[in-house]
Structure 1
Amino acid sequence: MNREAANTLFQAHATARLRGDAAEATRLASRIGPELHMKHAVFLTALLAGIIVEEYGSRPDPSDLAELTKRLHARHFEGGSTFNALYAEAMIRAVCGDSVLLTEIPFAEQPSYMWAVMTELVDPDITVAELTERFDLAEEAGMNWMSETLESTIQNHPKRSGQPTEEPTPPTADASEKESA
């Protein structure tokens, strides 16, 4: 599936989830195969980041996070549930700069915590224009993250990336004679 088709699928799925259309969300989720899981994870993370920034800014107030965590716990933690509201809070803090917190949450569980936060914060009656704006921001954020990751990889591992490295030039005999003079 090409990038445009994948983004269309991700956006349709997110629209169904955020609007509470469980049947449509399930149908669309079944089309997100293993070859798209990483792209979908980046999309979800970027969408979560945009929703968080829209709601709380880039540095959420700890009291706002505590209130949200309490609401998420009340809504999702039932008798046999394994839902951990602190993981949901960690997802928020991770997209706001404390990315090391992602290592505390099993990767396979991260989407469920992202959805819990997003569905708590987004009104199910969100307009198409508002969704489009959020999707555009998510796409931009995802592209920036991928670009920054690639750039960092090239800078930190130039031999593996196939990029030319700057080899130190050995001193010439003339240069070493001038230094010793």
Structure 2
Amino acid sequence: MSQSKNEVWEWIKALIIAVLLAGGIRFFLFAPIVVDGESMMPTLHDHYRMIVNKIGYKIGKPERFDIVVFHATEERDYIKRVIGLPGDHVEYKDDVLYINGEPIEEPYLDQYKQDVNGPLTNDFTLEEVTGLDKVPEGHIFVLGDNRRFSKDSRIIGTVEMEKVLGKTNIVYWPPSDFQIIK
């Protein structure tokens, strides 16, 4: 009888440790997220399931073109691409992105530009859409790859780094579309 009580207790301890480890990993290190909508097409499709790396920005900073997940509202997280970093002046003119006056290539949009008639987005400057001359310290400027149909920094403003959950670049579902996005 006492041996079976010991065995039951050992199983309970193992289950508690497993639950705590899984919860800790999900809360502090990695978390799943589902792409909701088409704002990141053609790079990410609606209902893709991805992994968010939550620790990367605790030890480093976002880089231009990282795909990030952030708290847009209390209820919703958004997935967008980092375009402007602190101190950057951002402009979009004639379907060309300019950062600090220099044209920047966006190879991830090449196929989309070929498939779409007309410009991907209207011309804008950071100041026109946010009222700011430069991206403030502690903030980033983000855009969806589907520039025509994305609710991004042009509408919601710059994103505070405290609201960024992490970087995502691994699509794990559906399995046929498994990929690591560069």
> What interval of TM-score do these two structures reach, taking the shorter chain for normalisation?
under 0.3
If the length of structure 1 is used for normalisation, what is the TM-score?
0.25
Structure (1 or 2) with the greater helix fraction:
1
Structure (1 or 2) with the greater strand fraction:
2
Name which one, 1 or 2, has greater alpha-carbon Rg: 1
If the length of structure 2 is used for normalisation, what is the TM-score?
0.25
